[in-house]
Homo-oligomer: A and B are copies of this chain.
Amino acid sequence: MDSKENGVDNGAEQSGRRGFLSKSAALGLAGVTLGLVACKDEAGAAKGGAAAPQKEGASKEIAPGQLDEYYAFISAGHGGEARVLGLPSGRTLKRIPVFNTDCMVGWGVTNESKAIMGTKADGTLKYTTGDTHHVHGSYKDGTYDGRWLFVNDKIHSRLARIRMDTMECDKIVELPNVMGFHGLFTDKCDPVDTKINYTTRVFCGGEFHIPLPNDGRDLDDPTKWGTLFSCVNAETMELKWQCRIDGNNDLVATSYDGKLAASNQYNTENAADLNGMMAAERDACVFFNIERIEALVKAGKFTTIGGSKVPVVDGRKAANSDPKTSVTCYVPVGKNPHGVNASPDGKYFVCSGKLSPTATVIELKRVMAWFNGELKEPRDAVVAEPEIGLGPLHTAFDGKGNAYTSLFLDSQCVKWNVDAAIAQFKGDKTAKVIIEKMDVHYQPGHNYSSMGETKEADGKYLNSGNKFSKDRFLPVGPLHPETEQLIDISGGKMRLVADHTAYSEPHDGIIVRRDVVKTRQIYNMDDFPNAVKPENAGIERHGNKVHVRLMSQAPAYSMPIIKVKKGDEVTLTLTNHDKVEDLTHGCALPTYNINFIVNPQETKSVTFKADHAGAFWLYCTHFCHALHLEMRSRFLVEA
């Protein structure tokens, strides 16, 4: 069944700029310039928008002293960090450095952070850039358990874990033989043992085709290149297995019963150039049968690639001709889809078309039926494919049966009803699929709703992450901020609550009820094996290796003078003995390019070569006390 049969003009406004492109135009090569045309068009529209602010913008404001209702955890794009926002206020509560360096906290400066980030043989950082597209939480019983967040790095194919109690990154793993690690999602249950109803796996999609292994072979023959879908152990952060597929992986979703993971594919053509990637009229959403993959691994039915020891299962079509033993199911969906999202009732995955004006609703029990040999074609798992607008990308849910899809080209958020779409697909011409379309400003990418990716989706807020802000904010030169628009979806109509700015280039996020998050506000000193205490504080020398063990307590460090010799390899370990919450100390060493902080009861260390002589004031950089400026020690390097 193709989308023409699904009915057009089903309640959607299709006039003016939103109707200027027919579906066929969007499907053809003319689509190459769509984004740009829409930009120009929007730029004109924007001027009116800024001059006449929207009446509905009366915000649900958080007054001074009031706390927000929700946390938003967002991936910060190619800034490499993750961020914590309060909603609805939009306050940035924290930046969490992950793949980037951050000289405030000392991420990439301290020995402890360098060990997490990874170093080269000479001790310098292996990577200092990153591209975080997605952040997802760990689950228990179908909702967030407040334990971990996971974020990806697309540039260097790394998965990072953040502890939600301290909101700091504690592990990073690099995926072997993967380039362009884009989508990620946690599992919600074990596929076999339903007692394990919490996250133990993280699934990682590999977007780009590369030679396998990527060691210089097959450079001129992309037909030999491939893509892997990876599974990481959430606890150990080690690779469990990988699955080679046809096409690529873009975003990832997982089922509530743990049996299925899926990834939308915009390049089923396995092409290496733009035109090739747009050649087919349909692309796919590939489903992974987790239980079967892990059974193959257990049975030793895998290969390895290059120097990697990670078991690789073959999920390509040629190796999976019998549905009853297949590990993958390729469900055809709209052209060059972007985004796959799980509905909170656990029944459906929705894939957006991007170059098709449709969303494809896939019923999970039908996918499982295909795996069991009870469904003829993978396409038969599709239960709806409504036309919703131009450039559909991502879909959020309100837990009341409605879906909210971002329309990149239309610069809109479309609210549509899943059951109505299914009825329409079955032939009900009276079904009212589209409920409302709302302009957003401008060109939305991801959207996400409060608790929307859990069984507790509460239908209160929707965030539309818009890629272009144009004239929504005071101009700041050629680089604009992005617009995060907060929309109240609790009533009958969508209501714009706020335009929040975001430093480019955030992607996805999750909105988490505040009661889910339980933070530790003070460290336990004994969590740090290298903690400096009065009994071991001081200077210890072995040859030219010097260990300086220092303590901080406002407004002084434990040693007013620290003396070493030029040429020494110095390890400086600092423990903050202050116990008052919020009483953080900094530690900067001028000319030695060192700065980091220690929170109350925390320990950190740096190692460096004292390669130039002189007197250097080691000083506190984090305002701690009325005598903060006077908190400094002499670090003397003898010639």
Give 1 or 0 for each of A46-72: 1 = CB within 8 Å of chain B CB: 000110111001110101111110010
A551 to B355, CA, bound (A): 25
Interface: A168 (CB within 8 A):
yes
Known: A470-B582, A479-B599. A155 touches B590 (CB 8 A): yes
Do A57 and B63 touch across chains, with their CB atoms under 8 A apart?
Answer: yes
Across the interface, do B155 and A130 meet the contact criterion of CB distance under 8 Å? Answer: no
Evaluate contact between B626 and A477: CB separation under 8 angstroms.
no
CB distance from A336 to the nearest CB of B (A): 7
Q: B179 to A616, Cβ gap below 8 A?
A: yes
Beta-carbon contact of B274 and A477 below 8 Å: no
Q: Most B CB atoms within 10 A — which of A40, A480, A519?
A: A480
Which residues of A, 620-636, contact B by the 8 Å Cβ criterion?
Answer: 621-632, 634, 636
Please, how many angstroms separate the alpha-carbon atoms of A173 and B615 in the complex? 21
CA distance A129 to B594 in the complex (A): 7
Q: Is the CB of A215 within 8 A of B614?
A: yes
Interface centre among A104, A166, A467 (most CB of B within 10 A): A104
Q: Is there contact, CB below 8 Å, between A36 and B391?
A: no
The answer to whether A481 and B92 have CB atoms under 8 Å apart is: yes
> How many Å lie between the Cα of A462 and that of B301 in the bound state?
68
Task: Convert A269-303 into 0s and 1s, putting 1 for each residue whose CB lies closer than 8 angstroms to a CB of B.
Answer: 00011100110000000000000000000000000
Docked pose: A99 CA to B101 CA in angstroms: 12
Which of A34, A65, A560, A616 neighbours the largest number of chain B CB atoms within 10 Å of its CB?
A: A65
State A408–B628 Cα separation when bound (angstroms). Answer: 11
List residues of chain B with CB within 8 A of the CB of A578.
Answer: 36
A499–B63 CA distance with the chains assembled, in angstroms: 8
Q: Which of A99, A599, A617 has the most CB of B within 10 A?
A: A617
B472 touches A627 (CB 8 A): no
Residues of chain B within 8 A of A626, CB atoms compared: 31, 34-35, 38, 354-355, 391, 408-409
Which chain B residues lie closer than 8 Å to A79 at the CB level? 102-104
Q: Is the CB of B474 within 8 A of A71?
A: yes
B583, A94: Cβ atoms under 8 Å?
no
B499 engages A266 (CB within 8 Å): no
Q: Are A625 and B35 in contact (CB under 8 A)?
A: yes
Among A179, A180, A391, A590, residue most surrounded by chain B Cβ atoms (within 10 Å): A590
Q: Is the CB of A65 within 8 A of B94?
A: no
Chain B residues contacting A222 (CB-CB under 8 Å) are: 615, 634
Cβ–Cβ contact A94 & B481, under 8 A: yes
Nearest B-chain residue to A133, judged by Cβ:
B621
Q: Can you list 26 A-B contacts with CB-CB less than 8 angstroms, sorted by A residue number? A: A31-B626, A33-B554, A34-B627, A36-B583, A53-B65, A57-B65, A64-B498, A67-B473, A78-B103, A78-B621, A92-B92, A93-B501, A129-B595, A131-B621, A154-B621, A179-B590, A208-B617, A214-B614, A266-B629, A408-B626, A443-B623, A445-B623, A475-B519, A478-B523, A478-B600, A480-B582
